[in-house]
Amino acid sequence: MRTFAIGDIHGCSVALDALLTAVKPTPDDLLVFLGDYVDRGPDSKGVLDRLLALRQSHRVVCLRGNHEIMMLEARRNPAELRNWLSVGGVQTMSSYTQSGWKTSFENVPSEHWDLLENHLYDYFETETHVFVHANLYPDVPLDEQPDLMLFWEFVNSPVQHMSGKVMVCGHSAQKSGVPRAWPTTVVVDTGVYAGGWLTCLNVNSQKYWQANADGETRIAHLEIDE
């Protein structure tokens, strides 16, 4: 069994499809998606459709990202709508209609709302790794981490969590287009929506695959900063 971590997709379904084709995950593999499935890219609907299909055929863990939080808040509270639309919500809503952009949450299928509301995790851990969307306080237990760290705080330096496990996260987009790694921390958001790449990391072998919005792929291994 292999454990894969997939960085922020942001509505880039072409990259996601190309990445999955390159990686060829089996039903025995574990796929951990690190959040931010929606917003900014052109096909948030398609991304959520792919995740729902994968959940039926593979072992899948989907974490909650700050963009899923903003989408849900915009639906619940009209005062939050303008903020969400300004950070990619327009592109998300456009992916649900064939007749031009509309701010109508009724266009979003109920199974998509169910995924976003009921089946996303704040964090996930294995024997060796902790997976989170954004960041962790090093000296705070996982079940006591505040939302600010889990979903919003960027990573600028390595985190040595008290669990002793390696933290794998997204959220902090790497303009270099390659993951940033230290012995205790790996960041796999590589900015696919902004002309970068979508990354899938085998956390045990440290091999990673990448795909861009044009469907091009490449393979490399992590370079660890000491």
Q: Look up the CATH number of the domain holding residue 96.
A: 3.60.21.10
So what's the pLDDT on residue 104? 84
**48-54 LR contacts (CB < 8 Å, sep 24+):** 48/112, 48/115, 48/116, 50/13, 50/16, 50/17, 50/20, 51/115, 52/111, 52/112, 52/115, 54/20
Residue 137 covered by a domain: yes
Query: Given a cut of 70, is residue 101 above it in pLDDT?
Result: no
Split at pLDDT 50, 70, 90, the class of 99 is low
Residue ranges making up the domain that contains 37? 3-221
pLDDT in tens, 2-39: 999 999 999 999 999 999 999 999 999 999 999 999 99
Q: Which of 10, 58, 67, 129 is catalytic?
A: 67
Please indicate whether residue 119 is annotated as part of the active site: no
**Whether 81 contacts 71, CB under 8 Å:** no
Residue 226 covered by a domain: no
Q: How many domains does the chain have?
A: 1
Give the separation between CA 133 and CA 154, rounded to whole angstroms. Answer: 10
* b (16+ CB within 10 A) / e for 14-52: bbbbbbbeebebeeebbbbbbbbbbbbbbbbbbbbebbb
So what's the pLDDT on residue 128? 98
pLDDT in tens, 32-82: 999 999 999 999 999 999 999 999 999 999 999 999 999 999 999 999 999
Average pLDDT, the chain: 96
Residue 65 covered by a domain: yes
Phi/psi for 89 (5° steps) reads: -65, -30
pLDDT in tens, 216-226: 999 999 999 97
Query: Given a cut of 80, is residue 102 above it in pLDDT?
Result: no
